[in-house]
Structure 1
Amino acid sequence: MLRSLVTSVMGLLEDRSASAPYDDLAELTGLRTGNATPPADATLARLLPDFFGAGRDAVDPESRDANANGALRSLYEPEIIDAKVAAGTVILETVPADGGKVVLTPEQAEAWLYGLNDVRLALGTTIGIDADTPDELDPDDPRAPHLDVYHWLTWMQDSLVQVLLP
């Protein structure tokens, strides 16, 4: 299940990266640029939020902050996506294919924290988890099994944090 979730998130991020417009200046300078506009997909928007006015404080598309967001997004989104994909890759390389014990170095554990956080954000956005979502849903609610997975991911992330604390 973890492999499937991580692979799905990585696929979303890689698709976003591939959708970046061609930039002649980037070709000449070697500097990569990304999309200047925020993702339309809610899950990707949660994984790649605006630099200003995030969350409920949406930025007016005609404002100065919108221009700054676009410029910053274009400059930094490729690196952000690379880091998120790299964290997912560490998870895929270190989780045993047939199950079993996971043994991680501190660096790998840190990558797991980042990767698990991205999977939790993606899953939470997809199933509509917010501050008002109860810890348990009615068994007939189609989100109930997904919420259990969300809680499992939360437990894994918390366990890693506890192990890594000095």
Structure 2
Amino acid sequence: MNPWRKEGDVLVTEMERQEAAVLRGLVGQINDMLHARAEEAPKDELSELTGIRTGPATSPDDPILSRLLPDFHRLDADQPSKEDMDSAAALRSLHEPELLDAKTGVAEVLLDTCPPGGGEVRLNLDQADAWLSALNDVRLALGTALDIDDDMPDELPDDDPRADHLPVYHWLTVVQEELVHAISS
């Protein structure tokens, strides 16, 4: 990964073809998952008349989507009350469409600005913020899939099925850190 550099208000880097392919592939997969979740939203006449969209009232079953779309109201794990469960469902239904729009929006900015064959990437500050959000979503998804926690070593034994994917997680972390550093310099 070539370091990001600031040229005025523009952030610039060069991406290798493989780097761009990996990044675009991962962001594209997350984007597809988020779009599929948006399609699960209930269709109702009031929503179509008012333009106020509603989302599903329940958390996603998929652990990756559940990590990307967390509950808006935490329930008592031992004995959630019906009132709390209703509140959580209402909040999810009301706010999830906006969250999905934000997450798919940043993914699409990254996909639009990351050249498919690699090469120069030039981002204004708004696009850089979108990249940071999209990178964060990919890291959350990959971290969930790999079951990453604070106790995980930097390298895994070769026979661990996660061993080939952990370096990608670390690379995404570096891309994100370098971009933050370039923005703040």
Please list, as runs of the form range in 1=range in 2, the aligned pairs for 1:20-35 lying within 5 A after superposition: 20-35=41-56
Distance 1:148 1:159 in 2: 16
Which structure: greater strand fraction?
A: 2
Kindly tell me the number of residue pairs found equivalent between the two proteins.
164
Alignment check: 8 A CA contact 1:20 1:34 kept: yes
Distance 2:156 2:147 in 1: 12
RMSD (CA atoms): 1.7
**Structure ranking higher on relative contact order (CA contacts 8 Å, 6+ apart):** 2
Q: 3-state DSSP class of the match of 1:101?
A: strand
Distance 1:80 1:74 in 2: 11
Please list, as runs of the form range in 1=range in 2, the aligned pairs for 1:67-106 lying within 5 A after superposition: 67-106=86-125
Q: What displacement does 1:130 show? A: 1.6
User: Max radius of gyration: which structure?
Assistant: 2
Please list, as runs of the form range in 1=range in 2, the aligned pairs for 1:4-23 lying within 5 A after superposition: 4-23=25-44
Q: Partner of 2:146 in structure 1? A: 127
Q: Partner of 1:47 in structure 2? A: 68
Q: Which string of whole-angstrom CA distances, capped at 9 and with x for unpartnered residues, describes residues 76-108 of structure 1?
A: 111110110110011111111111221211111
Alignment check: 8 A CA contact 1:52 1:69 kept: yes
Distance 2:80 2:37 in 1: 20
Q: 2:109 aligned with 1:117, yes or no? A: no
Query: Matched residues, percent identical?
Result: 54
Letter in 2 for 1:159: E
Distance 1:99 1:3 in 2: 10
Alignment check: 8 A CA contact 1:59 1:66 kept: no
Q: Partner of 2:155 in structure 1? A: 136
Q: 3-state DSSP class of the match of 1:103?
A: strand
Q: 3-state DSSP class of the match of 2:72?
A: coil
Q: What displacement does 1:58 show? A: 4.0
Q: What displacement does 1:3 show? A: 0.8
Give 5+ residue unaligned stretches, structure 1: none
Q: What displacement does 1:25 show? A: 1.8
Give 5+ residue unaligned stretches, structure 2: 1-21
Distance 1:67 1:34 in 2: 14
